[in-house]
Chains A and B, each alone.
Chain A
Amino acid sequence: MSRCILAKNIQLYDQSAQLIGCGIDIPAADQSFDWPLITIAGWVIGKDEPIREVEVALLAENEVLQILPVNIPRPDVASFLPHVPQSEKSGFYGYLSAIGLPKQFEIVISAIDFNKTVIPLANVVFESDPEDYRYRDFVRLQPIMLNALARSGTTWLARLLIAHPEVVGYPVYPYEMRAASYWLHACRVLTTPSNRVGIAHPDLFWFDLQHISSPPFYSAFNEDLLKWFNDTYVNLIALEYKFTIQSFYDYIAKKLKKKKVTYFVEKQTVPNRSWLIYDLYSKPREIFLVRDWRDVFCSIIAFNNKRGVVTFGREGMESDAAFAYRLGADIANLRREYHTRADRALLVRYEELLLNPEHELKRILDYIGVDATLSTIRAMLRQANKPDPLLQQHRTSRSERESIGRWKRDLSPELQEVVNAVFREHLEAFGYA
Chain B
Amino acid sequence: MKVFKVKDIQYHQEGLSRLVGFSIDKPAVNQCFDWPLIEIGGWVVGKDRPITEVEFTLQVLNLPLQVAPINLQREDVERLLPQVKNSKNSGFYNYFSAIGLPPEFKILVNAIDCDREVIPMADITIESKGDLKIKTDDLSFFQPILVSALPRSGTTWLIQLLIAHPAIIGYPHYPYELRAAGYWWHACRVLTMPSGLTGLSHPDLFWFDLQRISGNPSFSIFHGDIIDWFKDTYINRVLLHYKLVIDKFYKYLAKTYNKSNAIFFIEKQSVPYYSWLAWELYSKTREIFLVRDWRDVFCSILAFNSKRDTMRFGRELVDNDIAFAHRLIQGISNIHQQFIMRSNCVLLVRYEDLVLNTSNELKRILDYIGVDSDSSTIKMVMEQTHLRDPFLEQRRIGRSAHESIGRWKHDLSPEFQEKINFVFKDYLQLFGYS
Contacts and interface: CB of A to CB of B under 8 A. Distances in A.
Given A192-B210, A212-B213, A206 B245 contact: no
Given A212-B191, A222-B178, A244 B210 contact: no
Nearest to A214: B211
A100 B248 CA distance: 24
Contacts of B211: 64, 67, 189, 192, 195, 198, 200, 213-214
B226 A210 contact: no
Given A185-B206, A215-B180, A236-B245, A178 B63 contact: no
A251 B234 CA distance: 11
Interface of A: 63-65, 67, 170, 172, 176-179, 181-183, 185-186, 188-190, 192, 195, 198-200, 202-203, 205-217, 222, 224, 228, 232-233, 236-237, 240, 243-244, 247-248, 251-252, 255, 269-270, 273
Contacts of B201: 210
B218 A217 contact: no
Contacts, number: 139
A217 B180 contact: yes
A217 B178 contact: yes
Contacts of B14: none
A272 to B, nearest CB: 10
Contact of A183 (B183, B184, B196, B216): B216
Contacts of A240: 237, 241
Interface residues of B, number: 57
A269 B207 contact: yes
A183 B214 CA distance: 11
B252 interface: yes
A211 B213 contact: yes
Interface string B31-63: 000000000000000000000000000100101
A188 B211 CA distance: 9
A179 B218 contact: yes
Contacts of B180: 215, 217
Contacts of A222: 178
B164 interface: no
Given A185-B206, A189-B213, A177 B218 contact: yes
B161 interface: no
Contacts of B203: 176-178, 182
A210 B66 contact: yes
Interface in B159-208: 173, 177-180, 182-184, 186-187, 189-191, 193, 196, 199-201, 203-204, 206-208
B225 interface: yes
B229 interface: yes
Given A209-B189, A270-B208, 17 more contacts: A65-B210, A67-B211, A179-B218, A182-B203, A182-B213, A189-B211, A190-B187, A209-B65, A209-B190, A210-B67, A211-B212, A212-B191, A213-B212, A222-B178, A228-B249, A232-B248, A237-B245
A194 to B, nearest CB: 9
A206 B271 contact: yes
Which of A63, A188, A189, A252 has the most C-beta atoms of chain B within 10 angstroms of its own C-beta?
Answer: A189
A96 to B, nearest CB: 11
A178 B223 CA distance: 12
B244 interface: yes
B233 A247 contact: yes
Nearest to A195: B211
B95 interface: no
Contacts of B248: 232-233, 236
Given A222-B178, A247-B233, A251-B233, A178 B66 contact: no
A209 B64 contact: yes
A202 B229 CA distance: 32
B270 interface: yes
Nearest to B219: A179
B190 A244 contact: no
A232 B233 CA distance: 24
Interface string B258-271: 00000000000011
Nearest to B257: A224
12 contacts: A67-B211, A179-B218, A182-B217, A185-B213, A189-B211, A215-B184, A217-B178, A224-B256, A236-B241, A247-B229, A251-B229, A270-B208
A206 B193 CA distance: 15
A270 B183 contact: no
Contacts of A273: 207
Given A177-B218, A251-B229, A270 B186 contact: no
Nearest to A216: B183
A236 B218 CA distance: 23
B4 interface: no
Contact of B234 (A170, A205, A224, A244): A244
B150 to A, nearest CB: 14
Contact of A252 (B184, B191, B226, B252): B226
Interface in B78-109: none
A303 B200 CA distance: 26
B218 A232 contact: no
Contacts of B252: 228, 232
Given A179-B216, A210-B215, A236 B244 contact: yes
Contacts of A233: 245, 248-249
